[in-house]
Structure 1
Amino acid sequence: MLEESEDYDRFAEDDGSGWMRRLTPLRDELMRGDLRPLYLGWLAAGDALHDDVLEPEVPCGSADLSPAQQALVEFLEIDPDLLEAASMSSAVATSPHDETLQISTWLDTWQKADMQDVLKTIALGRGQEAERQVKSHYAAWLKAQRPTSSGAARRQGAELRGLAQSAAATRRAREAQAHAKREEERRQKREGELRRIMDSPDKYWKAASEQASRGSASGYEKTVSQLKVLAEGYALVISPDAFDRQLRRFLVPHAKRAALLRRLAEAGLWSG
């Protein structure tokens, strides 16, 4: 029963309309002879694949899935690293330009009588029936043109899982590199902001003092926030000791504000 399956939470509040809209194009893809959805269905077994099971032939274009096929990957929850590993031996898919040429070649094989039959069907108001006939005819022609084998060695389940582990390691390294780059960009941006503040620190000390003079909790919070920024700026441009000296001077008119001093101590800016 659905209530007992691990997918209950996933589907309990989903009426399926969103998935159906995204997955419906798969039918036309299959009719055109695109075998990628079938391969994805096989790949969905993931860790359940036996070590010695032999994979089906990898369809062309498995590294460049259609939107509907990408939705199928999400729906079946296929391990992205396993998909990456599986697509390594996939040939490049036919481009839209090449497919147009394919269709032109296919049309040249049509008999005049067959074309007339399709046009008659359309003229009789049975356009959907005619479309099915044309698509079926094209799919059969494509299947006949497809070589019986791509020549690529078919892999076993154990090999695919090993390749997936390698793909995962590569992905993690790539993500770590991207994260390091983002952090470096963030650090440089932050340093630029701090250096601009330190071009005229007196303005920020004055603003912090004005907030402290309000004598309110919100004013103290803003004071602490501003002083934290100044502490960063002094540590970057001058020294922490220079900040401590300036902070002592700053606190002279605010020495009796116990709530402010407590907040500064909690923030690690003041030790009394």
Structure 2
Amino acid sequence: MSEYQYYEFLALDRPLDEDDVRQVRALSTRADITATRFVNEYHWGDFRGDPTKLVEELYDAHLYYANWGSRRLLLRLPAGSLTAEEANAYAMDEALGVWSRSGHTLLDFSVSSEDGGEWEFETSYTLSAFVGLRAELAAGDLRPLYLAWLAGLTAWELAEDDEENYAREVEPPVPAGLASLTGAQRALVDFLGVDADLLAAAAEGSRPATADTVDHKALAAFIAGLPAADKDALLVEAALGTASPGPRLLARYRAAATVPGPRDEAGRRTAAELLDAAYRRRTGRRQQEQEARTAAEQARARAAAEAQEARLDKLAQNTGQAWREVDDLIAQKKAGAYDAAVVILSDLRTLEARTGGTTDFDRRAGELRAAHRGKPSLMQRFDGMGIPSS
């Protein structure tokens, strides 16, 4: 199996300066490098740089995947937009790592080669599919983090992990809108290999997504009621460029206006409960799919039988013409014509059996066999349908 690795980095909040570009170019002579983007494909060898360090110091997003199954998406956000403490509630070794560095929160979405399976290049990605996750997280949409936690459960189930872990592990806070993911979130589901039935089971405990429209008067009243210290902190962050206060304020406003959902009231589910629910869904879905396939096969069989009956009814009106057509087809001495002749012969035999006729078919077919015994290809077809020698 040939080797393939894909590396991409994006600088979104601040472009690289000339010194930064020179530093990165020293790590790869063949990469496509600009002040905002680095991309390279490796068919042999490895990238000489440290992707984690590059994101901690220079870039805001990194994408990596290899054809042996390893996948990684690394995002950096200002800590004022998303704290490591908030994100850590969703961290799981198998899918999401979280840490802080230099005023930023770093999120490491990853799948190991054992869990990822061999990569299908028809579904390869670029970072453009995922950068929207940063804005969503900054606005308080924590669905990407919950999806990573589900990816960890998917890996557990595939590995048939200790069931005691399933009983001890309790789901993190369930964000709204799991049943209606954004495009970037759907790409993350595919990238991390989140089980579709597990996601559907988890979505049962998720409130509907919050509408994008905002009541301006209600928002103004909410901001007016914030403590002065909170407002001052947001303005300082905005002045220093360490965070954008707009998404954060909207996130706080929506959180305050949200009505508690079923999971908030009934308590969070364990991993075991979610995996059991996913298993029931999977079993039911597969049963329905099998029933649908069986019904489709039966419908096709009925249609074929009806078509044959109609064909036999027409054939019964002039069997003499059918025998002459068989002679004409055999005279062509072509494989396709032989096949067509055999189809007509099969219908003639079926017609005789249906009408309870004599053994006229065996006699006439035997005469055909005797007359054309020098045609081995035709004889093989006659053998296949059991036409006896005369």
1:196 aligns with 2:320: no
**CA-to-partner distance for each residue in 1:110-134, whole Å, 9 max, x for gaps?**
889xxxxxxxxxxxxxxxx9xx554
8 Å contact 1:264–1:270 — kept in the other structure?
yes
1:62 aligns with 2:62: no
CA distance 1:110–1:141, shift in 2 (3 Å)? closer
Q: CA RMSD in A?
A: 3.7
CA distance 1:111–1:139, shift in 2 (3 Å)? closer
Partner of residue 217 from structure 1, selected from 312, 335, 356: 335
1:123 maps to: none
1:252 aligns with 2:361: no
| Structure 1 residue 62 displacement after superposition | 1.6
In the TM superposition, what are the counterparts of 1:21-40 in structure 2 within 5 Å? 21-40=128-147
Partner of residue 53 from structure 1, selected from 134, 158, 169: 169
| Structure 1 residue 178 displacement after superposition | 1.5
Which structure has greater strand proportion? 2
CA distance 1:187–1:8, shift in 2 (3 Å)? closer
Unmatched 5+ stretches in structure 1: 113-128
1:262 maps to: 380
Q: SS in structure 1 opposite 2:264?
A: coil
8 Å contact 1:212–1:223 — kept in the other structure?
yes
In the TM superposition, what are the counterparts of 1:98-109 in structure 2 within 5 Å? 98-100=211-213, 102-104=214-216, 107-109=219-221
Determine the C-alpha separation between the residues in 2 that align with 1:103 and 1:212.
81
1:126 maps to: none
Q: SS in structure 1 opposite 2:342?
A: helix
| Structure 1 residue 253 displacement after superposition | 3.7
CA distance 1:105–1:167, shift in 2 (3 Å)? farther
CA distance 1:166–1:249, shift in 2 (3 Å)? same
Determine the C-alpha separation between the residues in 2 that align with 1:243 and 1:105.
93
Partner of residue 158 from structure 1, selected from 247, 272, 294: 272
| Structure 1 residue 55 displacement after superposition | 0.8
Amino acid at match of 1:211: L
1:86 aligns with 2:202: yes
| Structure 1 residue 80 displacement after superposition | 1.8
8 Å contact 1:55–1:157 — kept in the other structure?
yes
CA distance 1:247–1:110, shift in 2 (3 Å)? farther
| Structure 1 residue 23 displacement after superposition | 2.7
2:7 maps to: none
CA distance 1:261–1:134, shift in 2 (3 Å)? same
8 Å contact 1:194–1:232 — kept in the other structure?
no
| Structure 1 residue 44 displacement after superposition | 0.2
8 Å contact 1:197–1:204 — kept in the other structure?
no
Determine the C-alpha separation between the residues in 2 that align with 1:244 and 1:172.
49
How many pairs align? 244
Unmatched 5+ stretches in structure 2: 1-45, 47-65, 71-112, 225-240
1:142 aligns with 2:254: yes
8 Å contact 1:231–1:243 — kept in the other structure?
no
Amino acid at match of 1:222: A
| Structure 1 residue 249 displacement after superposition | 2.5
Determine the C-alpha separation between the residues in 1 that align with 2:215 and 2:349.
66
| Structure 1 residue 226 displacement after superposition | 4.8
Which structure has greater helix proportion? 1
8 Å contact 2:342–2:382 — kept in the other structure?
yes
Q: TM-score, normalised by structure 2?
A: 0.52
CA distance 1:142–1:209, shift in 2 (3 Å)? farther
Moved over 6 A (4+): none
8 Å contact 1:25–1:68 — kept in the other structure?
yes
Determine the C-alpha separation between the residues in 1 that align with 2:350 and 2:209.
55
- Identity of paired residues, percent? 28
1:75 maps to: 191
2:99 maps to: none
8 Å contact 1:82–1:163 — kept in the other structure?
yes
| Structure 1 residue 227 displacement after superposition | 4.4
